[in-house]
Structure 1
Amino acid sequence: MAESGVSEGSESLRLYEAQFFGFTPETCTLRVGDAFRDSLNHILVAVESVFVKRLCPGQDPPAQLRLAARESTQKLRQFLQERFEIMFQRMKGMLMDRVLSIPRNVLLPDDQLHQKYPEGKEELMKLQDSIAKLLQAYQAEVCAKQVLLAELEEQKETQKQLDEVLQWIEELRLSWRREGMGNFQDGIRHMMDTVGQLQDVLGKINKRNKGLDEV
């Protein structure tokens, strides 16, 4: 079944039919044959029992009669099985060709997509390689985004410290304006305290900037 995507090696197994039915046609026909054989054996045993009872009504049949009946049953079974095998081969061929087969020009729904887009192995490998590259690019973008977010947090912290410096400078300016030159010693002392605070803040800012440069 070239059209069905089944190789010649699997033709005898009818794998395409097995994909559709859920079982191989060969297995199905074998089970049908076994069912007929089992039924035949049960029928012959029942017929043998009836004949033996009819020949000896109301009493136990002698061993010689049972043996003769069993031999006759075996001969009948062999005769019927030979005829059955001939008929079964015909029935099997009919089932395999007309019932349990998919025409060569029929494509199952699961395989219609392959017919519409018949990409080969090379195309599939290219597609997989492209997907892998896109995944790597996406992961790189995620890492870069995380780095940028970390830098943004650092910048926010630095901006907060700069705002504090500006606030202290404004307080210093207002203090000098309030004190004036008449209270010089107090102004100097207040300025020295403020300068000390500014130095601490500037030291923290420098450490932050070094951390950003290393990133």
Structure 2
Amino acid sequence: MSVDPMTYEAQFFGFTPQTCMLRIYIAFQDYLFEVMQAVEQVILKKLDGIPGCEISPVQIRKCTEKFLCFMKGRFDNLFGKMEELFLQLILRIPPHILLPEDKCQESHPCSEEEIQLLQQEIEQLQEKYKTELRTREALLAELEEQKIVQAKLRQTLTLFDELENVGRDRGTNDFREGLVFLVQNSRKLQNIRDNVERESKKLKIS
């Protein structure tokens, strides 16, 4: 079987020529097996009609298989020549023939240098596309981070609003003054705690 992919022929026929030849080979081979089975059945019937015949069906099967191997070898040899003829002449599209969808190549031929330039341009466009894709992914990730920050900011503003409402309920009109008052008291409590810790250390040492 030919190893040439014959892609242009496959584009024209809708199937690869090698596949076509393989199917023909299998069809002929199956037909050969069927013929040999039919011949074997006819021989067995003829022998049943001969009185005193000492030829057994096993002997007939061995002879049939031997003849089948002989025929298959001859068939493979002939099919190899037929396959070469079909793939080289009958199913082969000549190099100077173009398919209808490729006719534009005649009016717009491209040299090897032009094809290389086009390939380089395609590679550059692919790299630009990949860069833009990475940039887009980075922007989307940053947008997600901004959404998280905005959600946390809303939570913080909500907390401030709740603290301001609590201050109003307790008689503090200005939230900033209440916050300053809380910070000052916090610092006083921290100083008292530090003093207590120092005194306790002194008592432990004494």
TM-score by length of 1: 0.47
Larger relative CO (CA 8 A, sep 6+): 1 or 2? 1
